[in-house]
Structure 1
């Protein structure tokens, strides 16, 4: 998508209104926090250690979406556990120190939390690292549930974690449950769970190719309060 068409998309998105959310599920990496530099560097250390060519930032964004336990056996074959160990060892080297919230992320959490909307995180990041990062930012109190890879039998795009969160919150799936994420896997899980997909895409590179179109595309989380009958000042419209 070109810059001009991106402006059109944003204008269209601003006019769209989803039902007010009964609950919102967020992806973590590159939806609420900026982790692409860390993830790409860690993946490239792993690829080189395993005798593969490193990936460009664009290739990393295109190829990294599924959980490690699902993607590494395909990529590294019988040596995937060795690759996993290299990846985790490198990730331990400063992933918390380099963790940066994305624009509008915490403001969105505060906005919807103040209105009593239950919030959750469902990520393909390995659970122990995800929980450390949420705690490092002091964001635990925003979420009813946080699910990382390996905590349930299936990871994204399977809808298990969304259903577990909704059961905990006493809610049923529906279009008024939003799943907010930056990848095609996030659009897939929203569709599989019977929820509305809100794709976060800032216009860099190609928009993620999705088998099912997202309900709405926003440039970042700061736009969320303008959807579903809420304006950007945080008052119901």
Structure 2
């Protein structure tokens, strides 16, 4: 059962589908690599399923023995194009600016490659808000394991045993990681997943429709 919410000492966010509207770009990245290996393109819906896991998890299933090589092709293409394709949800900038005034530590835990994540945060000018950011490959395991969430918290001297820590994400993978880490799971419904995904896995997070509703929830306890 989900614990009652309290004033958060920190809020960590997923990135793609939570603060960043990145599905069209990610679909393009996957299809670029598939084309290089003469594989059929995938639809937005298929990309939507793949994005829930890191590329280093998905590629062995798709490319088999060529997974490492394909991953290099993927990362090379993303590194050259990801900033020009970066799009945030319309309310994201105002949300981050207002949230930063509430004396709550903020950070990102994403399955996006760590170096790409940091560049995107900097490109948006959000490094002034975000104090602890972890991308794929920084922890021993990526989400849905709790490792990256716990690493992000430990970097700023927090632990779920002592502190109230929220984790906001848009997929059941995010909620699994939050529950496993002992963070408060907050599911935002404007992204890649929906409530039924949580129900299938026996998850019972707090639900918010979008960032505006999330701000109302934060202010209720802040």
Query: Please, what TM-score do these two structures have when normalized by structure 2?
Result: 0.87
Indicate the residue corresponding to 2:213 in structure 1: 223
| Structure 2 contact 132–153 (Cα < 8 Å) conserved | no
Partner of residue 171, structure 2: 183
Q: Is the 8 A contact 1:23 1:117 kept in 2?
A: yes
Listed as ranges, the matches of 1:153-232 within 5 Å are 153-173=140-160, 176-202=164-190, 207=195, 209-210=197-198, 211-230=201-220
* Maintained 8 Å contact 2:169/2:186: yes
Write the distance in 1 (CA, Å) between the matches of 2:48 and 2:95.
24
Mapped partners of 2:191, 2:70: distance in 1:
32
CA 1:161–1:205 in 2, change beyond 3 Å: closer, same or farther? closer
Q: Which moved more, 1:35-44 or 1:17-26?
A: 17-26
Given that residues 96 and 136 in structure 1 are in contact (C-alpha distance below 8 angstroms), is that contact kept between their aligned partners in structure 2?
Answer: yes
Q: Pick one of 104, 107, 124 that aligns with 2:91.
A: 104
The CA RMSD over aligned residues, in Å, is 2.3
CA deviation string 1:153-173 (max 9, x = no partner): 211112122212222333221
Residue in 2 aligned with 1:75? 62
Distance 1:80 1:194, change over 3 A: same
Note the C-alpha offset of 1:189.
0.6
Tell me the number of residue pairs that the alignment of Structure 1 and Structure 2 aligns: 216
Q: Which runs of structure 2 are paired with 1:38-49 in the superposition (5 Å)?
A: 38-49=25-36
Q: C-alpha displacement at 1:97, in angstroms?
A: 1.5
Corresponding residue for 1:140? 127
Deviation of residue 205 (structure 1)? 7.9
Counterparts of 1:29-68 in structure 2, within 5 Å, are 29-68=16-55
Structure 2: runs of 5 or more not aligned: none
3-state SS of paired residue (1:146): strand
**Runs ≥4 in structure 1, deviation > 3 angstroms?**
203-208
> Could you state the TM-score of these two structures normalised by the residue count of structure 1?
0.82
